[in-house]
Chain A
């Protein structure tokens, strides 16, 4: 089989939390050798846990997003068992080194010397404090690409602002553009598309810089500010403002012109407890409306003049929502999907994190991949981002454990001797456990 597209590219990966780790996973999936540079002497919150050694009681009460440890059990090495980290850990290598100590910085520089790209997404001042700058990296490796992915940028009034993806979601305007039409924003929304987009954007930007290097022989500094990366996603709202002065607000699950909604359906009746069975459907055209009416069994009310064209349907949206839901409540989500799709109407159930595993389409395409992780066991994991016909992407290596590849990286990649390796081990650079006093 042909080599993966990015075979031969090596990335020194200093990223944490979600955005950078996700972006580097995409490059790892494509075949780059992504080496996570971690430390056993310092715990970065939100990367391999909120804290390194959470007590069982804390994990038990946390929402699954944060408390997703295998079996809700921290185990001896909780940092290898957290779904949050393990969702971006595949296909990567992990080495440990304490870059705050001079000999640790020398190890890092040795890695830079044999790498193509260095990536970081810490607060702006963290890298400055460590002394990692583009100039320093360039002195070590002339054509290095240095990718920085701060929230707002490494310069400008907010360069030092502390923000998570969820904060950027607010301050780029997304959370004033979505949500329920009839509730105040204090009701809150989840979703941090900003982090996701920052990751894939950084992957793209690294590739663009690599392309430039392959043509010119030059590396460069690349800055992917998470806020600037995601703003084009709101192009309609932004252009509506710059062209017309309109300030768009939330329209809930409706569509600006079509008939669209999320309706309760048969199955799980816990609609008001955060669960429940739901179906989405959209009717844009007269043909789709006719399809919906057929699927519903031609109820007499559907012949009313006030539902006869798209404009009047949009005008009577509230009434239609009630009538459509009377029908959807009689069927389960998948049955509704098949009935409606047969009549040419876009519709599908809303699938929870549990339900997606049983989806027939995902199964048919073999999207989930079964992976055995030495400290977590065997499970199906979310698959890759696309199907490549000649160099298929896959999960070649389970989510990486802290320091798992120290021996390979120190000896094979960096060329340290066995004696030197043992010395780094003795000095606490090399290990698979956080220092015992780190909580």
Chain B
């Protein structure tokens, strides 16, 4: 097997739910040795979050947990106990990274703040992920996905002008933060290897939204440049034919704003001649924002789409070199020829669910590929192995178990 890109990186993962685990999953999927530390008894909170296999809410059957924890080894450890703390400090000794997502101050209260970890291993990079960061007036505020997106991200302008601002799907902000943190953590490890000196990285989910290229930074700078507040706009604000239009089996989107020639070549076809679209009026500098022209175009566009399927339209629009898209649902992803040809969804076997399809490689590194070496760990599955490697005997493990440390 080809050597994995991050095979020489060791990670102690104290995170739970989504953001931290997605970060460490990325590291693990590219080869890092990730030891996931869970609370004895209940484990990662994600074990109690849906969807569940066959809708059975069982701690080993959360699809979210299974998807987020591939390739990690799992141990249980009560960090509040003296023995748990001692074991963690032993684990940290030869680690490159420790990633945690406790409430700010919690690591300190366990006696595991950065100054303690730094003493145990000066080369260690510690990454703390929290809602608002380790400092500031909101530090201890509570947050949810929607609260963070509304505060930091560009929710205000997302959606219909007559309605409330709209959030994105599910917990996307958490995945987004996890991906961001993976890059930051890896970058910091690079620095630590070069300088021999680790550091503490403070990641705030609110700030990652504020720093998001999902229109936010462009519009923040746009405000500075113009003094204008950016509202939710009608779809027509982005040019003629922008937005979704119904077709035979769903909806289709093909913006004409930047690709008028391609759009006309697509629409003005032998079987649907629309020579009027060749008129110069459509090319006037203000044409794309002209409501009368929009109405005139729509009168031709709706009937053109009505008898064609999403896939047919996509093919013909792309043949005309027109950027465009079908509005796919989740089931469509699994029928899609492209993802099938690339083998994107991969089957992973897990003792509690049997084999299931999971999302696959986000990046294809030719020589050091993404690879599944093991499914998500059962709670405490690797206690004996990981603690054994630290020198704890079978008898020690029994004692630690009886004390509730593992």
Once the chains bind, are B53 and A220 in contact (CB under 8 Å)?
no
A382: contacting residue among B114, B186, B211, B327, CB under 8 A: B211
User: Inside 8 A of A190's CB, which chain B residues have their CB?
Assistant: 157-159, 215, 232-233
Q: Which of A236-256 contact B (CB under 8 A)?
A: 236-244, 246-249, 252-253, 255-256
Residues in A whose Cβ lies below 8 Å from that of B188: 5, 388
Is B235 an interface residue when CB atoms closer than 8 A count as contact?
yes
In the complex, chain B residues whose CB is within 8 Å of the CB of A63: 230, 233, 237-238
Establish whether residues B6 and A238, one from each chain, have CB atoms under 8 Å apart when the complex forms: no
Interface hit among B86-94, B221-229, B393-401: B221-229
Give residues 65-101 of B contacting A (CB, 8 Å): 66-68
4 other contacts beyond A192-B215, A262-B167, with CB at 8 A cut-off? Answer: A5-B188, A235-B359, A237-B169, A262-B164
Which chain A residues lie closer than 8 Å to B258 at the CB level?
45-46, 50
- B291 interfacial by beta-carbon distance below 8 Å: no
Is residue A70 contacting chain B, with contact meaning CB distance below 8 A? Answer: yes
Choose the segment among B36-44, B175-183, B270-278 that binds chain A (4+ C-beta atoms closer than 8 Å).
B175-183
Query: Is the C-beta of B375 less than 8 angstroms from some C-beta in chain A?
Result: no
16 contacts between A and B (CB under 8 A): A83-B224, A186-B246, A193-B172, A195-B214, A212-B3, A239-B64, A253-B167, A255-B144, A260-B146, A274-B231, A281-B147, A350-B156, A352-B230, A362-B206, A365-B135, A382-B211
Contact B338 A220 (CB under 8 A): no
Chain B residues near A156 (CB, 8 Å)? 338, 341-342
- Of B104-112, B315-323, B378-386, the one touching chain A: B315-323
**Which B residues touch A253, using CB under 8 A?**
146, 164, 166-167
Q: Is the CB of B221 within 8 A of A240?
A: no
B390 within 8 A of A: no
Contact A382 B220 (CB under 8 A): yes
Q: Are B226 and A238 in contact (CB under 8 A)?
A: no
A244 to B191, CA, bound (A): 44
**Contacts A71-B225, A170-B326, A282-B147 given: A236-B64 contact, CB under 8 Å?**
yes
The docked-state distance in angstroms from the alpha carbon of A202 to that of B332 is: 26
> Does A380 have its Cβ within 8 Å of any Cβ on chain B?
yes
Interface string of A189-231 (1 = CB under 8 A from B): 1111101110111111101111110111010111111001101
Kindly identify which residue among B137, B223, B224, B361 contacts A360, using a CB–CB cutoff of 8 Å.
B137
Whether the Cβ atoms of A387 and B201 lie closer than 8 Å is: yes
Which chain B positions have C-beta within 8 A of A355? 156, 229
CB distance from B227 to the nearest CB of A (A): 8
Main secondary structure of the interface of A (DSSP, over half): mixed
Residues of B contacting A225 in the complex (Cβ-Cβ under 8 angstroms): 342, 364
Stretch of A34-42, A161-169, A294-302 that contacts chain B: A161-169
Contacting residues, chain A, for B245 (C-beta < 8 A): 186
Are A389 and B169 in contact (CB-based, < 8 A)? no
Known: A239-B51, A382-B220. A391 touches B191 (CB 8 A): yes
Task: Tell whether A247 pairs with B331 under 8 Å between CB atoms, given A26-B183, A216-B3, A352-B157.
Answer: yes
Max chain B C-beta neighbours (<10 A), residue from A63, A243, A284, A349: A243
With both chains docked as a complex, state the minimum distance between the C-beta of B33 and any C-beta of chain A, in angstroms.
13
Identify the interface centre among A84, A211, A218, A264: most chain B CB within 10 Å of its CB: A211
Contacting pair B175 A252 (CB below 8 A): no
With beta carbons under 8 angstroms apart, the residue of B5, B322, B327 that contacts A175 is B327
Chain B residue total in the interface (Cβ 8 A): 160
Closest beta carbon of chain A to B142's beta carbon, Å: 4
A349 near B225 (CB under 8 angstroms)? no
Q: Say yes or no: B176 contacts A208, CB within 8 Å.
A: no
Any chain A CB within 8 A of the CB of B133? yes
Q: How far is the CB of B4 from chain A (nearest CB, A)?
A: 8
Are A207 and B212 in contact, with the CB atoms below 8 A? no
B133 engages A387 (CB within 8 Å): yes
B244 interface residue (CB < 8 Å to A): yes
Contact A187:B51 (CB < 8 A) given known A5-B188, A252-B166, A383-B211: no
| Of B8, B52, B323, the contact of A243 (CB 8 Å cutoff) | B52
Interfacial chain B residues near A274, Cβ < 8 Å: 157, 161, 231-233
**Distance between Cα atoms of A164 and B242 in the complex (Å):** 13
B186 touches which of A31, A202, A204, A228 (Cβ 8 Å)? A204
With the chains together, A390 CA to B188 CA distance in Å? Answer: 10
Assess A186 versus B243: contact at CB under 8 Å? Given A70-B225, A352-B156, A364-B135: yes
Min CB distance B44 to A, Å, is 14
Residue from A84, A191, A347 whose CB has the most chain B CB atoms within 10 Å: A191
Q: Please state if B226 and A196 are interface contacts (CB–CB under 8 Å).
A: no
Chain B residues near A341 (CB, 8 Å)? 141-142
Complex: A380 Cα to B217 Cα, angstroms: 11
Least CB distance from A345 to B in Å reads 7
* A241 and B206 contacting across the interface, CB-CB below 8 Å: no
> Across the interface, which residues of A come within 8 angstroms of B329, CB to CB?
173, 176, 247, 249
Beyond A192-B215, A379-B221, is A212–B169 a contact (Cβ under 8 Å)?
no
CA distance A127 to B231 in the complex (A): 38
Contacts of A337 in B (CB 8 A): 141
CB <8 Å contact, B223 and A354? yes
Chain B stretch 181-218: residues in CB contact (< 8 A) with chain A: 181-184, 186-188, 190-195, 197, 199-204, 206-208, 210-218
